[in-house]
């Protein structure tokens, strides 16, 4: 009885912990993004609020909280209110299946640094992450504005096109490991990282992952130049902050998945596993920001041709090559 109670207790603590981490992580990430943007353009970025502008995201949060929450007259009000929440929930659900490390001993009990080790973890992650598109397309539709609608449609088309190479690129890893559990996949990489065996798979996953996270050079859904800001043109205040939060959590998800699938997860010499994990994820998050302030945006037809004519054949060829080597 006590054992069951403790298990539930630990589970609740882990769920609350991960939720808090995911809700709070965008705060330093926005700061980091603005700093990287500034220094790449020979500026300083935020400097005035706190030490080197560290409290700037909190000031922004207060600003977003106190801003007018505007709903357009012709908007579909129920959907308009629902859309940010629908887009916010799937990225949180993804982290149910994401492990952060192996078992640790807490209060004389062994617990894993994960909520659930599913044997179909990867499948679950892709299934849930695909739901995010509903929030975006509902937000674009409910706003009843042409910019928002076009942004939503573009986003929908983009996410569907890139989900396919994303799924296929992971196939090679699954074939190598023979398991869909992320814990097994990481354990299989304790000697050599998967990126050595799967360079094409990694490349396809990285590019498709950037497209999934709606980052430059694939951020067509919120192209400031031609669409205002796409599906969240009409959103303001806290609802806009929800979309922002989603964007950062998805970026984090993609980084975490790249690290787990191709870069050995928490495996690494000398340093404790969790430090390795954070370092690797941090590097990929930085890489995304670096890309953002280096590359221009792709045109819509280019986006589609990259997805269907380059990434899809590449990922299929990757599966084929992996199969030949395994057989």
Q: What is the CA radius of gyration of the chain?
A: 20
Binding characters for other proteins, 9-48, by CB under 8 A (x = yes)? ---------------------------x-xxxxxxx--xx
Q: How far is the CB of 268 from other proteins (least distance, A)?
A: 24
Note if the bond before 217 is cis, omega within 30 degrees.
yes
Min dist CB 291 to other proteins, Å, is: 8
Which one, 10 or 293, has the nearer CB to other proteins? Answer: 293
- 31, 135, 96, 94: which is closest to 249 by C-alpha? 94
Least spacing, CB of residue 215 vs other proteins, in Å: 14
Residue 291 or 300 having the CB closest to other proteins: 291
Letters for 237-276 (x = contact with other proteins by CB under 8 A, - = none) are ----------------------------------------
d(CA 129, CA 315): 19
DSSP notation for 173-185: HHHHHT---HHHH
In terms of CB distance, is 295 or 325 closer to other proteins?
295
Q: Assess 78 for contact with other proteins (CB under 8 A).
A: no
Give me the least distance between CB of 47 and other proteins, in Å please.
7
Number of residues that bind other proteins (CB under 8 A): 15
CB of 40 to other proteins, least distance (A): 5
* Minimal distance, residue 54 CB to other proteins, in Å: 15
- CA–CA gap between residue 219 and residue 158 (Å, rounded): 9
Contact region for other proteins (CB under 8 A) — 93-101, 136-144, 248-256, 289-297? 289-297
- Closest to other proteins by CB, 199 or 272: 199
Closest to other proteins by CB, 190 or 294: 294
Q: Which residue, 39 or 63, has its beta carbon nearer to other proteins?
A: 39
**Contact indicator for 133, 160 with CB cutoff of 8 Å:** yes
In this structure, the number of other CB atoms found within 10 A of the CB of residue 205 comes to 29
**For other proteins, the closer CB: 82 or 314:** 314
Measured from the CB of residue 198, what is the shortest distance to other proteins in angstroms? 17
Q: Which of 219, 246, 232 is nearest to 142 (CA)?
A: 232
Give the nearer residue to other proteins in terms of CB position, either 40 or 131: 40
Residue 294 lies near other proteins (rule: CB under 8 A): yes
**283 lies in the binding site for other proteins (CB under 8 A):** no
CA atoms of 181 and 125, how far apart (whole Å): 11
For residues 30 and 155, give the distance between their C-alpha atoms in angstroms, rounded to a whole number.
Answer: 22
3 state SS for 236-285: CHHHHHHHHHHHHHHHHHHHHHHHHHHCCCCCCCCCCHHHHHHHHHHHHH
Residues paired with residue 109 on neighbouring β-strands, in sequence order: 106
Place of tokens 């986006």: 303
Q: Least distance to other proteins from the beta carbon of 230, Å? A: 24
Tell me the HSE value of 185 on the side-chain side, using a 13 A CA sphere.
31
Residues that bind other proteins in the complex, under the rule CB under 8 A: 36, 38-44, 47-48, 290-291, 293-295
């Amino acid at each position: 009885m006590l054992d069951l109670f403790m298990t539930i207790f630990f589970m609740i603590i882990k769920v609350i912990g991960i939720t808090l981490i995911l809700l709070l992580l965008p705060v330093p990430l926005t700061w980091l993004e603005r700093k990287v943007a500034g220094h790449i353009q020979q500026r300083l970025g935020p400097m005035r609020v706190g030490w080197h502008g560290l409290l700037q995201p909190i000031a922004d949060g207060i600003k977003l909280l106190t801003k007018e929450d505007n709903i357009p007259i012709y908007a579909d009000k129920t959907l308009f209110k629902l859309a940010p929440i629908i887009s916010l929930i799937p990225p949180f659900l993804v982290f149910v299946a994401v492990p952060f490390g192996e078992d640790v001993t807490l209060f004389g009990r062994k617990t894993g640094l994960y909520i659930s080790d599913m044997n179909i973890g990867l499948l679950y992650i892709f299934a849930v992450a695909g739901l995010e598109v509903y929030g975006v397309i509902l937000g674009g539709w409910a706003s009843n504005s042409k910019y928002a609608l076009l942004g939503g449609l573009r986003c929908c088309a983009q996410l569907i096109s890139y989900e396919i190479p994303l799924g296929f690129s992971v196939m090679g890893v699954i074939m190598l490991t023979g398991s869909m559990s992320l814990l097994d996949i990481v354990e299989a990489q304790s000697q050599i990282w998967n990126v050595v065996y799967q360079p094409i798979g990694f490349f396809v996953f990285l590019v498709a992952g950037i497209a999934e996270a709606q980052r430059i050079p694939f951020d067509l859904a919120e192209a400031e130049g031609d669409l205002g800001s796409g599906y969240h043109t009409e959103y303001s205040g806290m609802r806009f902050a929800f979309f922002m939060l989603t964007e950062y959590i998805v970026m984090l998800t993609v980084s975490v998945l790249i690290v787990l699938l191709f870069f050995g997860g928490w495996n690494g010499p000398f340093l404790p596993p969790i430090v390795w994990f954070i370092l690797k994820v941090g590097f990929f998050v930085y890489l995304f920001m670096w890309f953002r302030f280096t590359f221009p945006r792709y045109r819509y037809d280019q986006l589609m041709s990259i997805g269907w004519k380059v990434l899809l054949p590449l990922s299929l060829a990757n599966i084929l090559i992996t199969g030949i080597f395994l057989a």
